[in-house]
Structure 1
Amino acid sequence: MIELRFESELAAAPDTVWRWATSVDGIADEMSPLLRMTFPRGMRALPADACAPGQRLCRSWLLLLRVLPIDWSDLTLVELDPGRRFLERSPMLSMAFWQHERTISPSPRGASVIDNLTFRPRRPLPRALVRASVALFFRHRHARLRRRFGASRPETA
Structure 2
Amino acid sequence: MPLMFELASPLPVRASQAWHRTTSAEGINDELFPWLRMTTPAGMRGRTLAELPLGERLGRSWLLALCVLPVDADDIMLAEVGPGYRFRETSRMLSMRSWVHERTIRDTADGFCEVRDHLTFELRGPAAWLPGCDGAIAAVVRCLFRHRHARLARWARCTALLITPPIDSK
Q: Report if TM-score (shorter chain) is over 0.5.
A: yes
Q: Structure 2 matches for 1:61-140, cutoff 5 A?
A: 61-81=62-82, 84-109=85-110, 110-125=112-127, 126-140=133-147
Question: Could you tell me which amino acid in structure 2 is paired with residue 43 of structure 1?
Answer: R
- The equivalent position to 1:149 in structure 2, one of 156, 159, 166, is 156
In 2, Cα distance between the equivalents of 1:106 and 1:139? 20
Cα displacement string for residues 111-146 of structure 1 (whole angstroms, at most 9, x for unaligned residues): 110000000111232121011010010000000011
Give the corresponding residue for 1:153.
none
What is the CA-CA distance between 1:56 and the residue it aligns to? Answer: 1.4
Q: Which structure has more helix as a fraction of its residues?
A: 2
Q: Which structure has more strand as a fraction of its residues?
A: 1
In 2, Cα distance between the equivalents of 1:76 and 1:58? 8
Where relative contact order (Cα < 8 A, 6+ residues apart) is larger, the structure is: 1
Q: Structure 2 matches for 1:20-99, cutoff 5 A?
A: 20-40=21-41, 43-44=45-46, 47-81=48-82, 84-99=85-100
Give TM-score, length-normalised by structure 2.
0.83
In 2, Cα distance between the equivalents of 1:13 and 1:118? 27
In 1, Cα distance between the equivalents of 2:109 and 2:58? 34
The answer to whether the 8 A contact 2:41-2:58 is kept is no
The answer to whether the 8 A contact 1:77-1:87 is kept is yes
The sequence identity of aligned pairs, in percent, is: 44
Moved more, 67-76 or 117-126: 117-126
In 2, Cα distance between the equivalents of 1:59 and 1:127? 24
In 2, Cα distance between the equivalents of 1:142 and 1:58? 25
In 2, Cα distance between the equivalents of 1:101 and 1:119? 11
CA-atom RMSD in angstroms: 1.7
Cα displacement string for residues 19-71 of structure 1 (whole angstroms, at most 9, x for unaligned residues): 000011101100000000001458145x3322221111221000000000000
The answer to whether the 8 A contact 1:25-1:44 is kept is no
Q: How many residues align?
A: 150
| SS at structure 2 position matched to 1:20 | helix
